[in-house]
Amino acid sequence: MRVRYAPSPTGLQHIGGVRTALFNYLFARRSGGRFILRVEDTDRARSEDHYIQDIYQSLAWLGIEPDEGPAEHGFSGGDYGPYIQSRRVELYRKYTQQLLDEGKAYYCFCSTERMEQLRKKQEEEKSALQGYDRHCRSLPPEEARREAERRYAAGVEGQGCTVRFAIPLEGSATFHDLLLGDIEWANGDINPDPVILKADRFPTYHLANVIDDHLMNITHVLRAQEWLSSGPLHIQLYRAFGWEAPQFCHLPMVMGRDPATDKLSKLSKRHGATSLLEFRKGGYLREALINYIALLGWAFDESRETFTLAELEGCFDLAKLSRSPATFDYRKLEWFNGRYIRQYSVPQLRKELENLWQEHSPEMHGAVSVENLTERLDWILPLLQERLKSLREIPALAAYFFVAPVYEEPELALPKKHTAAQAAALLRKSRSVLEQLHSRDWVWETFDELLAVKQDWEASFRAAAADEGVKMGSLMQPLRYAITGSNTSPPLIESMIVLERLAGGEELLGRLDSLAMCLETGAEDL
């Protein structure tokens, strides 16, 4: 078995493309076959080098390794190179010539203006026939050849000489799709005589794709269903060359819902983030992306939905593909992401962050900088880990460990049915507890030891709450606001211990005093 992922470097790798790559990869792994990466850069106007880099980086990030790929870019080259189509143009010209010689293709001199007018006219007349009118198909071949040579010799690009494939006028093309079953298509319904060699003498997708799949011995073509209607054309091309066509499997499309119109369409930029590396930048873990993408149009059984790449390699099965399109759901991706974040160990998570922040500076909060953030992550991460949906939330959530909060909404400091004065009193009580705790001799070096210390601290605060005749929550609320500047935060006692470790006890007391002052001076407003 030999399968390939054949992206064109005309844009960033997006979810749909990556899903196709993943399924091809999994199919190869599962069947002991080979997974080939081929770059289809036949569109000279739109192909760009950095898009090629994006393809490589995307696959590398996910851990999808091609068995064969462009050797000039460091991939293990197989026996079928080059794997970049722009380095194979002579091949495509040679095969085009063959088709020309056999009368299965013909030169076309119709200008783009003529084609535009034709299309416009067909649209206006709501013509049953759409597409090329085969104007040049009946040109005497010898005459056409001379004209083509004349134009090529003139050398100017865009002289309007293309080569079109002569679709048989009668009959039909039939092929068996592994997912969809038998597909039969009347030749009359195939796009009439598509261009196979453009005016710049580069091949179009259809030609290059068919030639390369054949030459590279591809046995199975797994591609998105948007290609289904090119299937019959490709079958006709294989037939014209006298080649056996590979097995086809047209994967369900990945859709997105346009928030403005509420309409579904092929997932694209208008639906939000779609490029893979954008997700990485946005704090998503590779495991989450792989797991979620694998489930887009595929399911293992009635309940299991957690899979690592390695597990997928062992259980992926085309028979379990869905035939209907899948809508991309950002929320479910987030849910997976949260789960995988919680599964990571703290060192793993820290490493991931350091790598990420090296490439993309995160949006920082106050005085939090990458330097002093990463070195303290081992203390902070355990407190944040279980409330993260994405890595990108970390700087904002961790900010209070680095800078004193600004008390913009002091009413958040008030427990239910408490006045500002009462809250300030609770704060003073907490202050005395902290002072007492500071006078004690305690040390801790690991997070586990911190948890032991926490027992003591918590007991002291509980006693204080009882003293004051309030619930623990009531005592904690002003304290929480003082320390974190919010009424929702990671566990407060652990936070204080960590903060004391990172910034010293005076920092804690200072925050309490400053909120108390704030409450007392603004008391009448609350």
Interacting residues with RNA between 355 and 374 (CB under 7 A): none
Q: Nearer to RNA by C-beta: 301 or 524? A: 301
Alpha helices in 469-504 (DSSP H): 472-484, 492-503
By CB under 7 A, which span of 4-12, 67-75, 283-291, 359-367 interacts with RNA? 4-12
d(CA 122, CA 92): 32
Among 31, 86, 187, 191, interactor with RNA by CB under 7 A: 191
Q: Does 526 bind RNA (CB under 7 A)?
A: no
- CA pseudo-torsion sign 210, 212, 215, 218: negative
Q: Nearer to RNA by C-beta: 29 or 234? A: 234
So which residues are the catalytic ones?
Answer: 269
In the complex, least distance from residue 265 CB atom to RNA, rounded to whole angstroms: 4
In the complex, least distance from residue 228 CB atom to RNA, rounded to whole angstroms: 5
Among 71, 228, 273, 370, interactor with RNA by CB under 7 A: 228
Among 226, 411, 435, 449, interactor with RNA by CB under 7 A: 226
d(CA 415, CA 475): 8
Q: 252, 217, 213, 276: which is closest to 64 by C-alpha? A: 276
Q: Does 1 bind RNA (CB under 7 A)?
A: no
Helix (H) or strand (E) holding 37: strand 34-37
Q: Does 199 bind RNA (CB under 7 A)?
A: yes
Among 227, 344, 444, 447, interactor with RNA by CB under 7 A: 227
In the complex, least distance from residue 148 CB atom to RNA, rounded to whole angstroms: 12
Q: Does 150 bind RNA (CB under 7 A)?
A: no
Q: Nearer to RNA by C-beta: 14 or 375? A: 14
In the complex, least distance from residue 359 CB atom to RNA, rounded to whole angstroms: 27
Q: Does 251 bind RNA (CB under 7 A)?
A: no
d(CA 190, CA 185): 8
Three-class SS of 207-218: HHHHHHHHHCCC
d(CA 495, CA 478): 14
Q: Does 195 bind RNA (CB under 7 A)?
A: yes
In the complex, least distance from residue 367 CB atom to RNA, rounded to whole angstroms: 23
Report residue 505 CA to chain centroid gap: 44
CA angle 297–301–307, rounded 5-degree value: 70
Q: Does 305 bind RNA (CB under 7 A)?
A: yes
d(CA 484, CA 397): 9
Q: Does 488 bind RNA (CB under 7 A)?
A: yes
Among 3, 110, 373, 426, interactor with RNA by CB under 7 A: 110
Q: Under 8 Å CB-to-CB from 470, ≥6 apart: which residues?
A: 415, 426
Among 128, 153, 260, 443, interactor with RNA by CB under 7 A: 128
Per-residue DSSP letter, 153:
H
Supply the Cα-derived Rg of the chain in whole angstroms: 32
Interacting residues with RNA between 284 and 303 (CB under 7 A): 295-299, 301-303
Q: Nearer to RNA by C-beta: 161 or 373? A: 161
Q: Nearer to RNA by C-beta: 33 or 131? A: 131
For residue 306, the SS3 value is coil
In the complex, least distance from residue 490 CB atom to RNA, rounded to whole angstroms: 6
d(CA 504, CA 290): 42
CA angle 195–198–202, rounded 5-degree value: 125
Interacting residues with RNA between 23 and 62 (CB under 7 A): 40, 42-43, 45-46
Interacting residues with RNA between 384 and 443 (CB under 7 A): 386-387
Region class of 272: left (phi > 0), else alpha (psi between -120 and 50), else beta: left
By CB under 7 A, which span of 26-34, 71-79, 221-229, 512-520 interacts with RNA? 221-229
Q: Does 325 bind RNA (CB under 7 A)?
A: yes
Q: Does 493 bind RNA (CB under 7 A)?
A: yes
Q: 320, 278, 315: which is closest to 299 by C-alpha? A: 320
Does residue 82 contact residue 130 with C-beta atoms inside 8 Å? no
